[in-house]
Amino acid sequence: MPIGDISGVDAPLPTRVRTEPIQQRSADRLNRLLDSAAEIVDEIGFDRLTTAMIAERAGAAIGTVYRYFPDRIAVLVALRERAVQRFRLRSMQLMRAAGPTSVWDAVDSGITAFVELYRSEPGFRIMHFIDRERMPLSAEEAEPHLAKRLADILEEAIGITHDAELDFRLEIAVEMADAILSRAFAFDRAGDERYIEECRRVVRDYLSSELAAV
Amino acid sequence: MPIGDISGVDAPLPTRVRTEPIQQRSADRLNRLLDSAAEIVDEIGFDRLTTAMIAERAGAAIGTVYRYFPDRIAVLVALRERAVQRFRLRSMQLMRAAGPTSVWDAVDSGITAFVELYRSEPGFRIMHFIDRERMPLSAEEAEPHLAKRLADILEEAIGITHDAELDFRLEIAVEMADAILSRAFAFDRAGDERYIEECRRVVRDYLSSELAAV
DNA sequence: GCAACCATGATCGAGTTCCGCTCGGTGTCG
DNA sequence: CGACACCGAGCGGAACTCGATCATGGTTGC
């Protein structure tokens, strides 16, 4: 199986949609709804985002929004899901290009992908905010956390068998990176390079200590 | 000036209250409102918290809530502010008891205080969530971020002069610690010890590298 | 072939409900 | 009795519902 196949571009998509789109036009509409939401998130932030705005900008009626999403939050969750998929895809591309040999190399590609998307993908900030509290808010397994996705990607990319220990360290690394990178973009739309550099350094140090090269 | 004096227990309190309470009973009411809000945050999360709930649980009318707070978010901000003050106080206590000599020792006390409050203080989770997006959402200086508070505390506790470099490293450390600790409590009300331990280790390693003892 | 047909997916938007917040009137403290 | 504190019906707006309407693509009869 080629390395890109697990990037999941054609996976079942948002978990919480009400109705799977059958016809082509409706799949388009769903994407346009998410695009609208993404733009609005960037423009006014996600708590001021209203379902009416989403509908209007996408040229749809409010009812259409609720055909696909059970509630306002679900739109944001779906938006995050799409962002995660794009992150996966881009990470895989970078990893293939770099031909990483260590966990650290691979994770560095992940950081690069994250930064790129933060800069280019509208509404990517959602990655940091929707996380807990809004999500299932219980049950460990309910949340397919970013770290798990990354572990899967790594397994494919550099043929690592990920045991519980590596999963744990990756989760810590992801938490740290997410926090620092989000700080980098908090007051600077282009992302403060100082924080980004520090993020790479911190994560590399963390992953290389007691883990050496794999 | 004794070390505890900057803990700010009797500082002007929430920045965004509408009316400073004059009579004693109203100060009590304000605290009861915050207590109610804290409980509700723990029970159903802060986006499902409604002003009506706060009022009802505190045995007050809705109008009373709005006598003290301009809007719903202000309640959460005030709640966070109170939590930060208690964090300061507890940190100072622990630092005094430990008689710390290095930045790391002091920060470790901060972590301990944070964990304690996460366990004992209702609604303390708010510390992690209210941060950006909801707050001023622009202007670097507008946000009195936790890292700045910590820097102030350290300055008092171990007489450090905090330059820009230390501020930066502290901010990184705070971001990391906040992220990992919040993860520790995300699915475990008591806080997953493994994450807490890893948090101490990570922060210690980070602060001791290239900074040595102060 | 193809045109009429129709089951079902997709869309619509007025209407309902619920929530944030106001404001003028009523208690209660000093 | 003046100022402080409190009350809660009511207003505006946003989340969400639901029955009516339109579009699509497969089926049927010729």
Domain CATH for B40: 1.10.10.60
Q: DSSP string spanning chain B? A: --GGGGG-TTS---TT-SS---SHHHHHHHHHHHHHHHHHHHHH-TTS--HHHHHHHHT--HHHHHHH-SSHHHHHHHHHHHHHHHHHHHHHHHHHHH---SHHHHHHHHHHHHHHHHHHSTTTTHHHHSHHHHS--S-GGG---HHHHHHHHHHHHH-----HHHHHHHHHHHHHHHHHHHHHHHS-TT--HHHHHHHHHHHHHHHHTTT---
Total structural domains within chain A: 1
Coil vs helix vs strand at A93: helix
DSSP label of A193: H
- Per-10-residue mean pLDDT of chain A, 214 residues long, equals 36 54 78 97 93 97 96 93 92 88 90 97 90 56 67 78 86 95 92 98 90 46
Query: Nearest CB to B175: which of A134, A179, A194?
Result: A179
Q: Could you tell me the two tokens for A137?
A: 């808010």
The CATH number covering residue A78 comes to 1.10.357.10
Residues B97 and B189 in one domain: yes
Residues B43 and B109 in one domain: no
Mutate to test the interface with A, among B145, B168, B176 (most CBs of A within 10 A): B176
Report pLDDT for B148. 78
Report pLDDT for B57. 96
Residues B108 and B214 in one domain: yes
Contact A129 B134 (CB under 8 A): no
Distance A63 CA to D22 C1' (A): 14
Report pLDDT for A3. 33
CA pair distance B8, B74, nearest whole angstrom: 20
Which residues on B lie below 8 Å from A135 (Cβ)?
Answer: none
Amino acid code (one letter) for A114: F
CA pair distance B206, B158, nearest whole angstrom: 19
Is B8 contained in some domain? no
CA pair distance B196, B104, nearest whole angstrom: 15
Identify the segments of chain B with pLDDT beneath 70. 1-23, 131-144, 210-214
Residues B57 and B90 in one domain: no
Given a contact cutoff of 8 angstroms between Cβ atoms, the answer to whether B185 and B125 are in contact is yes
Report pLDDT for B140. 47
Is B114 contained in some domain? yes
Q: Which of residues 64-123 of A touch B (CB under 8 A)?
A: 73
Is B6 contained in some domain? no
Is A214 contained in some domain? no
Q: B70, B104, B135: which is the final residue of a domain?
A: B70
CB atoms within 10 A of CB B190: 9
User: Using the CA of A52, which nucleotide's C1' is the nearest one?
Assistant: D14
CA pair distance B123, B76, nearest whole angstrom: 10
Report pLDDT for A146. 77
